Structure 1
Amino acid sequence: MPTSSLLVIGWQERVDLPLLGLTNLRAKIDTGARTSALHATDIEEFDRDGEHWVRFHTRFDDDAHDTDVECRIHDRREITNTSGVPEVRIVIRTKFRIAGRLWTIDLSLAERTEMKFRMIVGRTALRRHKIVVHPGKRNLTTSMSLTKPHTRNAS
């Protein structure tokens, strides 16, 4: 694979979750984590048109208010938390964008209020997308991004 086709990102980047209406989110790129995680509180499950859905609140450091999100539940998985304790989490599937590249990822929902980063991008989300993580740099893709500060889409 030619190195020119690789995207080099830092250990911290700004990313978008456009289907959830969330843009310019500060995320930690964590290749030590298998699964990506998104901060979620007040998680409620419900049925819509015969499918299992979830409603939750999320808040990011530079956000003055909670953002309400609703989406279809993709799966439930046992995921080891940062303390090494396995827990069953709801997993959603959504679009992920970094440096203008867009693809689908799975995100587990976890309460991350006490964590420095409200979103973790794990190695499974990066696999097969020609990405290299530079552990000594951060925000390498910020100038490549055309995003605005994160907001809930008015759709």
Structure 2
Amino acid sequence: MYIETLKKELKERKYRMTPQRELVLKVFMEHDAEHLGADDVYRILFSKKHSVSKATVYRTIDLLVEFGFLRRLEFGEGIYRYELAKKDKLHHHFVCKICGKIYEIKESYLENLKNSLENQGFVFENFDLKIYGICPKCARKSKKNPLRRK
């Protein structure tokens, strides 16, 4: 689905579908549950013996963001992470301050907030809610070792 849509979008904008662009998009499709950085994508492609330069990965990701295929996220780490932009799958993120794992929050009340804003005349483009705290796994560990938590 994404590949064909990207081919169509590229053609409409006078770009061509290169093997590298397809490979980068496929990485995001195969790692849909993760929030990958450009270096992560490069490492995945390198480990699969694909010869794609790091610069090409960065340019392709920027293009995929511009075309609306990827969503750019920033979790306070000093790097951008990306995920497939699913227009019908509004979700937000919980970031564990101990292990760094990123969890997706898919609650309907967030959709209700979006609808409420639109009903008040706001033009909704996008919003990104990030909650920082401690995940259940790290919370259990910190209970076992009270010195771990500050």
Question: TM (normalized to structure 2)?
Answer: 0.24
Higher share of residues assigned helix: 2
Greater fraction strand: 1
* Greater relative contact order (CA < 8 Å, ≥ 6 in sequence): 1
Provide TM-score, normalisation by structure 1. Answer: 0.23
